[in-house]
Amino acid sequence: MILLGVNIDHVATLRNARGGADPDPLLAAQLALLGGASSITVHLREDRRHIRDRDVELMKEKLGAPLNLEMSIDYEIAEFALRIAPDQATLVPERREEVTTEAGIDVIRNLKRIAPISEKLREKGIRAVLFVDPDPAQLHACLKTSSRAVELHTGAYARAVNEPERRKELDRLVKAALFCAENGLALHAGHGLSYHNLFGILSLPGLREVNIGHAIVARALFTGLERAVREMRELLDLAATHEFIERRRSFTEEGARKER
Ligand code: PXP
pLDDT, tens digit (0-9, with 9 covering 90-100), for 223-237: 999 999 999 999 999
Minimum-distance ligand 1 atom for the alpha carbon of 191: 12
Q: For ligand 1, atom 9, which residue shows the shortest CA distance?
A: 191
Rounded Cα–Cα distance for residues 202 and 220 (Å): 22
Q: Is the pLDDT of residue 244 over 60?
A: yes
* Predicted pLDDT of residue 233: 97
* Predicted pLDDT of residue 172: 97
* Predicted pLDDT of residue 98: 73
Domain limits, the chain = 3-259
Q: Hey, CA dihedral for 168, 171, 175, 181, is it positive or negative?
A: positive
Which residues lie closer than 8 Å to 95 by C-beta, 6 or more apart?
A: 102
pLDDT band at 40 (very low <50, low <70, confident <90, very high): very high
Task: Give the percent of the chain with pLDDT over 70.
Answer: 93
pLDDT, tens digit (0-9, with 9 covering 90-100), for 205-229: 999 999 999 999 999 999 999 999 9
pLDDT band at 55 (very low <50, low <70, confident <90, very high): very high
Kindly state if the Cβ of 10 falls inside 6 Å of ligand 1: no
Selection from 229, 194, 189, 190 nearest residue 205 by Cα: 189
Mutate-to-test residue for ligand 1 from 41, 46, 157, highest number of ligand atoms within 8 A of CB: 41
Mean pLDDT of the region 77-98: 92
Kindly state if the Cβ of 90 falls inside 6 Å of ligand 1: yes
3-class state of residue 41 by DSSP: strand
Mean pLDDT of the region 111-140: 98
Q: What CATH number does domain 3-259 carry, 3.30.750.24, 3.20.20.70, 3.30.1120.10, 3.20.20.140?
A: 3.20.20.70
What are the C-alpha distances in Å from 196 to residues 1, 23, 40, 199, 240?
A: 20, 27, 22, 7, 18
pLDDT band at 251 (very low <50, low <70, confident <90, very high): low
Rounded Cα–Cα distance for residues 73 and 91 (Å): 7
93 touches 106 (CB < 8 A): yes
Q: Is the pLDDT of residue 21 over 60?
A: yes
Kindly state if the Cβ of 68 falls inside 6 Å of ligand 1: no
Mean pLDDT of the region 126-151: 98
Mean pLDDT of the region 89-112: 88
Mean pLDDT of the region 76-86: 97
* Predicted pLDDT of residue 100: 73
pLDDT band at 148 (very low <50, low <70, confident <90, very high): very high
In the residue annotation, 191 being an active-site residue is answered as yes
Q: How far is the CA of 258 from the centre of ligand 1 (A)?
A: 31
Q: Is the pLDDT of residue 113 over 80?
A: yes
In the residue annotation, 98 being an active-site residue is answered as no
Can you list the alpha helix ranges (DSSP code H) found in the chain?
9-18, 25-34, 53-62, 75-84, 111-123, 136-142, 155-159, 163-182, 198-202, 214-223, 225-237, 242-259
* Predicted pLDDT of residue 238: 87
In the residue annotation, 70 being an active-site residue is answered as yes
Q: 17-26, 39-48, 153-162, 234-243: which has the minimum mean pLDDT?
A: 234-243
Q: Is the pLDDT of residue 258 over 70?
A: no
Minimum-distance ligand 1 atom for the alpha carbon of 90: 3
3-class state of residue 66 by DSSP: coil
Q: Cα-atom radius of gyration of the chain, to the nearest Å?
A: 18
What are the C-alpha distances in Å from 194 to residues 50, 66, 190, 220?
A: 21, 22, 10, 13
Kindly state if the Cβ of 151 falls inside 6 Å of ligand 1: yes
Minimum-distance ligand 1 atom for the alpha carbon of 214: 14
